[in-house]
Amino acid sequence: MAGRLRTAGLILFLLALFGAIGWLLGGFFANEWYLGAAIFLGLAGVMNLIAYFGSARIVLRSYRAKEVSEKEAPKLYRSVRRVAQMADVPMPKVALISSPTPNAFATGRNPKNAVVAVTEGMLRLLPEEELEGVLAHEMAHIKDRDILVMSVAATLAGAIAFMARFALWGALFRQRNQGALLLLIVIAVTAPLAAILVQLAVSRTREFRADEVGGRTLRKPLHLARALERLDVANQRRPMQRGNPASASLFIVNPFRRRSTLVRIFSTHPPVEKRVKRLRRLAREFGQYY
């Protein structure tokens, strides 16, 4: 409950930030403060509707994920069905991504419309028990509707960054009150950073939660811990070559190359070392040791 309240608070903060930028823009360009805020909040609503109904289709197409039948992928289907039953969620659709990079993600606006997508590289890399550990993590995301939450956060964060950039360039080419101009420039520079930090906080909170729920679902958290270690090494050696980094938060580990410490700080995922450490602590509750 505390985690859900924290996530709701972060989403509300993003909405408030979006409205504040609209309020400032409306006052600066047209002396209509409230109109600007209303327009921007309306835009946020439209973007969230698009994210709600279309995000799954968009992300699946961007990675060329192909929905497969039980006949086409019997082993994967068997594992997905078993874990879905243990997690008490409806059987999701199953999609396969033609990529050697081992990874997986879940998408869909609710458990009844969920899709679990797995790369061919992950099927080759992980033994069955570790594959099921990964699937349990994804089922936790589906059960808690994390994909919807993260899609909304990503949509709002992206919109804030775009609008702040628009405000900055518009302000630089208009001669108005110097104090208001300075304030607008400060907001334009700091608002995107705040939005990104909130998006990261939402994503990292949900990842820790999905690890714990997934580990408890199978009652064998070390299977997920070992899978995370393998996947982290493999994704750094062979990062994904296609797709949008904005959707990196959907994957169980970051599928794109992390080049510097700064990039790692702003990563959508918590460090794998911390995730594994938590899972090992959890494993002791179930008498599972190294």
Catalytic residues, by residue number, are 138
Cα 266–chain centre separation: 13
Determine contact, residues 165/130, Cβ cutoff 8 Å: no
Whole-angstrom Cα Rg for the chain: 21
One-letter amino acid for residue 288 of the chain:
Q
Q: Determine contact, residues 46/189, Cβ cutoff 8 Å.
A: no
For the chain, give the number of residues. 290
Angle at 82 between CA 81 and CA 86, to 5 degrees: 115
